[in-house]
Structure 1
């Protein structure tokens, strides 16, 4: 894998921001033998238009979390997928009154930047969004709101209401700046339940959903309620639950399962192993 750290100016955020990108590249000979021939031309001539996964971090995190604390590079190499990891502050991936429009940045501006810079597909069926905790709730909300962008959406230990309840009930939280001036009782853009219900009434392709949460996670009951609601309204989805807590042991093993679930071609299959 090639690992690239970008610093770009974002018009939606009105500031410079960081993005990490990992891209599948040429692999060495599997038998470990050195060869006189240089077999790079065919790889770079035939590989392009990779599927792309936008991977969001949680509260207090940054663009480097997934690479530091999980084996995402190894999993992405195996599945031939580009992974884009943006910095989202503690902004819940929302448009804010302060002018930092994270929803516009993630769903509109960043995909344009990535498509301009890297060999990724522009098709919605090749474009995925995932995240953990705050990022999981953000990914689900953005996936449901923008099915024309994301064919597949994944929420790991996702927040489906805890953040908004904290903002409503406390004078200050780490997420307060993202909700300044918002009537949370009337704001349906924060409510994944409303967004899922709306998606069921619209004549367009719905994003495919995958949810996962450990049984010891403090967000487990919240995830179970959302899963049950999706069942109630008939929104087809995957719900993975097993023993696990709100930590990287669970998220690392689950993102591996997610990549198996996505419509990706493993490198061994491509190479005929």
Structure 2
């Protein structure tokens, strides 16, 4: 396994930004005197972090490095700040365009990653779960599967939030990210609207803890998908909104890729 951490310059953000890239190369087992060769170009998972996170947070809190090595998959982790992976045109912080298209172009130009849709996947935890479904649907021709772990599916609720010093429940914060909250529904910031208007919906996998404060929102979205005959799988398992849950179900999602 090879780990790269560094900065890239991107047009979508009009600046440099950090990424972490895990490659299933150099799988040398010194004690056994063996080496596993993963065929190039690599199948690739673009993995999105949650609120308050950065590109290194999965490396610190999960075992994705080892799991990438064991399963022969590349994992690209961008820094999404607290953007919900949306596009802020005024400040030219186009995080949706970045993770949906430009990041793929940049990383494929640097690393031996497959450019095939069937070899390219997007997933995320919490805010990153929202970013995965939003951009996995908006850029559906780029991704064959979407993984949502404890996804922050909050677009139906944030319009009712008020003044709050806690960012999680602050209307001012969400207005700074989503814009006019009255215009979120039935827009490309609304996963339900995107799912109904996407002609090439990737296969969707959802995971949420039964004691997670986001469980009902995830269950509701799953019911919506099934009512539209959209191919989706939902796993409600013991757990809360924790890194332990995230670690387990990022790995479960990778298993569905049948590498």
Whether TM exceeds 0.5 here: the answer is: yes
Aligned-pair RMSD on alpha carbons?
2.1
Report how far residue 206 of structure 1 moved.
2.1
Equivalence for 1:269:
none
Match of 1:134 among 124, 127, 130: 127
Match of 2:102 among 109, 134, 150: 109
SS in 2 for 1:58: coil
Equivalence for 1:92:
84
CA distance in 2, matches of 1:231, 1:258: 19
Aligned residues of 2:184 and 2:190 also touching (Cα < 8 A)? no
Higher relative contact order (CA 8 A, sep 6+): 1
Equivalence for 1:236:
231
CA distance in 2, matches of 1:165, 1:10: 33
Match of 1:250 among 236, 245, 257: 245
The answer to whether 1:68 aligns with 2:60 is yes
Aligned residues of 2:178 and 2:184 also touching (Cα < 8 A)? no
Once the two structures are superposed, the pairs formed by residues 173-184 of structure 1 within 5 Å of their partners are 173-180=172-179, 183-184=182-183
Aligned residues of 1:19 and 1:63 also touching (Cα < 8 A)? yes
Quick one: structure 1 residues 181 and 228, their matched pair in 2 at CA, closer, same or farther if it must change by over 3 Å?
closer
Moved over 6 A (4+): none
Report how far residue 243 of structure 1 moved.
0.8
SS in 1 for 2:104: helix
SS in 2 for 1:9: strand
CA distance in 2, matches of 1:5, 1:28: 21
SS in 2 for 1:85: strand
CA distance in 2, matches of 1:128, 1:84: 10
CA distance in 2, matches of 1:238, 1:186: 24
Quick one: structure 1 residues 33 and 144, their matched pair in 2 at CA, closer, same or farther if it must change by over 3 Å?
closer
Which protein shows a greater Rg?
1
Larger fraction in strand: 2
CA distance in 2, matches of 1:248, 1:9: 30
The answer to whether 1:148 aligns with 2:148 is no
TM-score (norm 1): 0.86
Structure 2 gaps, min length 5: 164-170
Report how far residue 165 of structure 1 moved.
3.3
